[in-house]
A and B are shown apart, each in its own frame.
Chain A
Amino acid sequence: MLTKRLIACFDIIGDRVTKAVNFQDNIDVGPAEDLALLMYEEQIDELIFYDITASAEKRKLNIDTVRRVAKCVFIPFAVGGGIRNLSDMQEALKAGAEKISIDSMAVRNPEIITQGARAFGSQCIVLSTQVKRTQKSVKIPSGYEVYIDGARVATGMDAIDWIKRGQELGAGEICINSIDNDGTVSGYDIQLMKLAEEAVSVPLIASGGAGSPSHLKELFTETASQAAIISSMLYSPRLKRNYRVAELKEYLLSENINVRPTRIRKEP
């Protein structure tokens, strides 16, 4: 059966990985390429790179980094940030990315989801969305609002309505980032992921809040999410301790959660 995925997410500024809390106060963690290779060797299931300032600064994502990573990392990875049109997508895919993550740009121009899905297939298009709790209202019945531009700008859009629309427009996967839980290491927003799984049928990725292995277990037992983004747990210098991918996998397997076991390296 299909296994649950652990995805390492890198917030990139220039060609360096940074780590933020609630989308703010980014600190430097290291060069993107080195960290990607380290995670690959630890047998993470997938990687996502967000060029986090590209969209807000209206510049394109750093394609050279994508190209270098693709030469040494043989697992799927998605890139996002600063993707404006089909030719940006094409460039990232040709550089070696599997998937394109679109977030703020999809809110500004939802048609880009459909264009991307038509040109490269739905499986290439990840709709990523930044979501914050708010008062339930007529406009936002779920009580979760969509934000854009690094969680800085509220859109007045209901998050659950938005992901449904995203699926209709052709997104093949949806990544939901909880702004409230991001970097707090207090666990995923389970309620949010439950609402999401009822709303859409494409695979869901939960993001924001993982701080201990039990948070992964909670996510995978209580929701239908197929993948979890972990980043603080793996490499944040702010955390008391970091975890190796192998120990997370071992823990999840012992809790009867179906993940890809760590492979014992054969001698060359």
Chain B
Amino acid sequence: MIGIIDYKAGNAPSVLSAVTHLGYEAELVSRPDRLMEMTHIIMPGVGSAGATMSSLRELDLIDVLREVILESKAMFLGVCVGMQILFEYSEEDDTVCLGLLPGQVVSFNRQRVRVPQMGWNKVHFIKDLSHRTEDDYFYFVNSFYAVPENDSHIWGIAENDGPFTAAVYKDNIFGTQFHIEKSGEAGLELLNAFLTLERGEPLC
């Protein structure tokens, strides 16, 4: 089953619309026991890192998320701030995050670019999924971006005040800084590619 984490500030219904549109069954999840049942989990992202982490804490989802990702190896996709909280720390609200991927989340340089970055940007994929991931345009809304400690976790990059991490993956953990659910056909295709991945499937 595909579960979309429903928390206060998130846009879970939009992600659910996209997943349903692709022909999958999915449900909104906010209970730890339900989360354990999921084969695919999507963590939508809207709002700040601090607020998102507090929401997860209030819903008692933090430990179970770790367990379902690291031990049950559910396929996990974090979107926007949902990707940022995969890292250890975010400058936004001085937030300690999940720490599933080593690295930090930092702010764009406000002297050089208008912040937030808001709009369509071209993503260059440097790793493939089970099939070739082609460069395309995706919709971003962010003032902060992730700097993975390990370059091998970088899936895609884009340019703003310089190159920044637009997508990451490591084993069963995926993240897109862009709003995959609001990136038109390009987003839907990539979302579909994620949803067709099976647990433990070898990636290129």
Contact = CB atoms under 8 A, between A and B. Distances in A.
Interface string A194-213: 00000001110000000000
Contacts of A201: 110, 114-115
Interface stretch (B35-43, B60-68, B69-77, B176-184): B176-184
Interface stretch (A119-127, A133-141, A157-165): A119-127
A251 interface: no
A43 interface: yes
Interface residues of A, number: 38
A1 B14 contact: no
Please classify the interface of chain B as helix (H, G, I), strand (E, B), loop, or mixed, using the class held by over half of its residues: mixed
Contacts of A74: 17-18, 21, 181-185, 187-188
Contacts, number: 112
Contact of B11 (A4, A93, A172, A202): A93
B186 interface: yes
B32 interface: no
Contacts of B17: 70-71, 74, 96
A45 B9 contact: no
Given A74-B21, A266-B189, A1 B121 contact: yes
Interface residues of B, number: 41
A2 to B, nearest CB: 5
Contacts of B184: 40, 43, 74-75, 263
B116 interface: yes
A70 B141 contact: no
B148 interface: no
A263 to B, nearest CB: 6
Contacts of B122: 1, 3
A13 interface: no
Given A98-B182, A119-B9, A121-B9, 7 more contacts: A70-B14, A74-B17, A75-B182, A94-B13, A98-B179, A202-B115, A263-B137
